[in-house]
Amino acid sequence: MKFIKNTHLEKQINYLENVTDKLGTPLDKKIIVLVSILNLLSFTTTGSCAGHSDGRTPWVDICSKAAVEQYQKLDGFTKNISVSKRISLENLREGKRLQDLLDEFYQKKNLDRKVMLTIEPIGNNGLGGIRLAPSDISASRYEKHRERLNRYRSELDDFANFLIEKFNHENN
């Protein structure tokens, strides 16, 4: 997939190409552009996967920056219910912001419900963040998954290009 050129985006991609998880695994190359543009749009990504032929679908996890800061203050995961509620609310706000972008994206695109991207809360009421992923995970196993994996990735690429165009337009 060819992506729209943008100096800020290229810098972010170069940065993320050198980021690894706690096990030393780098970000999947096939999802790095989407993660980069989400970061440039002030979404805090906390994990991602480009999908695999063994049945795992592509996804990006997002947690609001304010929620990450609040979460780091927690002594125990659910000890402070008011802080937990604030974290959930912050994450759900990020989900709404991302949903607004998805709604705008799908207004300009033919809708294929089998690969359509959706947002789901992670954990109890979004306490763990939100996940951007294809909606049709019922076919995410075995033969059908292999057929759809490229379509899933293409949908994520199309969304990344939409976000890049939006970012370029807003910053010019």
CA 163 to CA 170: how far, in whole Å?
Answer: 10
1 domain residue, yes or no: no
76 or 153: whose pLDDT is higher?
Answer: 153
When divided into structural domains, the chain yields a total of 1
CA 128 to CA 95: how far, in whole Å?
Answer: 12
CA 156 to CA 57: how far, in whole Å?
Answer: 11
What's the burial of 92, exposed, middle or buried (CB within 10 Å: 0-12/13-18/19+)?
A: buried
2 domain residue, yes or no: no
Q: Please give the share of the chain, as a percent, with pLDDT higher than 90.
A: 31
Res 9 pLDDT > 50? yes
Res 10 pLDDT > 70? yes
72 domain residue, yes or no: yes
111 domain residue, yes or no: yes
Q: Provide the CA 162 distance to its chain's centre, in angstroms.
A: 14
* Element (DSSP H or E) covering residue 85: helix 81-107
Query: Which pTM does this prediction carry?
Result: 0.82
The DSSP call for residue 57 is P
**Tokens standing for 118?**
């959706």
**Domain housing 84:** 7-170
Res 129 pLDDT > 80? yes
Q: Across all residues in the chain, what is the average pLDDT?
A: 82
Q: How far is CA 75 from each of CA 33, 69, 126, rounded to the nearest angstrom?
A: 35, 13, 19
The pLDDT, as a whole number, for residue 143 is 54
